[in-house]
């Protein structure tokens, strides 16, 4: 009899195990158990399809067809699987960082993003699984086709020139500037600051060109004429770029109060720079993205052709 009896400790352990198993089962939607497609042994369920449909609708304000969602999930499975094959490991921290960055672009904290998704009926894990697949795929494609993403400066210049539709909009400038600072000691009263602003305005009025104007500025008391700096349109904020574009060569910009004192810039040179750095960066990024999309599409087609995809 004693051999057939179960101890009270064993019963308690069994009860805990059953309770845990039941909780896990109940936490999963019934639809999650319904397999629709198997990709190289990895299942895609109706729950996966439902969640991705809700997410895509929430993100694009368009409801995709069921087949579009299935095709997207198949591609995602293949991306993750090839990453595993080549030992591309993405940590949870990397995923969480990308998730937080996505929220930040929408001016949301990670918690707020999770709440926004939940409001639309989307589990945050749905988005995080997609993020993981995207990171894996980026690394795989860039690693496998690295040479294709080395864009030559000559190609960038040619595409930039050929893509111009409005020369005026594409035109950039290179500015030669000499900062001039009217020193104001920290903590000076407002009256001192205003007096130095009047001194700066007086210099601005009589400043006719950099040759004579800079020499005159150096002779003034507590005035520093700094070394020349060269900036392109791409280096400057739009507001400062407008100020310089409205300033004639050989003249000074309006006085600005800074932490060191009253600062102005002498515009000593300005020349056209049609291949502006900002435009070049944009064109280069577009070319890299075009190459990435082409290689990605081709590689995914190869993976699909060799995959075992079983539709239930």
- pLDDT at residue 7, rounded to an integer: 40
d(CA 108, CA 123): 17
Residue 224 near residue 207 (C-beta atoms within 8 A): no
Q: Which two tokens stand for residue 247?
A: 């300033």
Per-residue pLDDT of the chain (312 residues; tens, 9 = 90+): 334 333 434 333 333 333 333 333 334 444 446 999 999 999 999 999 999 999 999 999 999 999 999 999 999 999 999 999 999 989 999 999 999 999 988 889 999 999 999 999 999 999 999 999 999 999 999 999 988 888 887 888 788 777 655 444 456 788 999 999 999 998 889 899 999 999 999 999 999 999 999 999 999 999 999 999 999 887 788 888 889 989 999 999 999 988 889 999 999 999 877 555 667 777 888 899 999 999 999 999 999 999 999 998
- pLDDT at residue 236, rounded to an integer: 81
| 167 phi/psi in degrees, rounded to 5 | -55, -35
d(CA 98, CA 103): 9
* pTM of this structure: 0.56
- Which domains are seen in the chain, by residue range? 36-148+292-311 (1.10.4030.10), 172-272 (3.10.50.40)
Alpha helices in the chain (DSSP H): 8-27, 46-60, 66-85, 92-105, 110-119, 124-144, 153-163, 167-170, 190-206, 210-218, 238-245, 277-305
């Amino acid at each position: 009899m004693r051999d057939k009896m179960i101890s009270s400790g064993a019963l308690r352990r069994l009860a805990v195990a059953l309770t845990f198993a039941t909780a896990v089962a109940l936490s999963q939607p019934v639809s999650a158990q319904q397999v629709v497609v198997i990709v190289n042994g990895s299942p895609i369920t109706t729950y996966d399809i439902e969640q991705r449909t809700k997410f895509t609708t929430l993100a694009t304000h368009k409801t995709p067809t069921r087949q579009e969602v299935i095709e997207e999930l198949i591609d995602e499975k293949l991306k993750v699987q090839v990453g595993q094959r080549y030992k591309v490991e993405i940590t949870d921290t990397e995923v969480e960082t990308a998730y937080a960055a996505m929220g930040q672009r929408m001016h949301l904290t990670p918690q707020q993003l999770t709440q926004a998704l939940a409001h639309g009926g989307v589990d945050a894990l749905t988005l995080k699984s997609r993020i993981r697949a995207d990171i894996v795929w980026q690394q795989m494609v860039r690693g496998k086709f690295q040479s294709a993403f080395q864009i030559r400066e000559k190609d960038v210049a040619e595409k930039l020139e050929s893509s111009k539709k409005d020369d005026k909009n594409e035109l950039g400038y290179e500015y030669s500037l000499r900062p001039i600072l009217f020193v104001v000691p920290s903590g000076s009263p407002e009256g001192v600051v205003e007096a130095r602003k009047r001194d700066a305005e007086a210099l601005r009025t009589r400043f006719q060109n950099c040759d004579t104007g800079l020499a005159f500025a150096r002779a003034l008391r507590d005035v520093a004429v700094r070394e020349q700096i060269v900036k392109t349109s791409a280096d400057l904020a739009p507001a400062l770029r407008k100020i310089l574009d409205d300033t004639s060569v050989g003249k000074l910009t309006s006085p600005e109060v800074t932490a060191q004192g009253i600062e102005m810039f002498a515009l000593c040179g300005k020349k056209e720079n049609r291949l502006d750095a900002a435009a070049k960066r944009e064109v280069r990024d577009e070319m890299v993205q075009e190459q990435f999309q082409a290689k990605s599409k081709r590689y995914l087609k190869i993976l699909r052709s060799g995959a075992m995809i079983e539709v239930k």
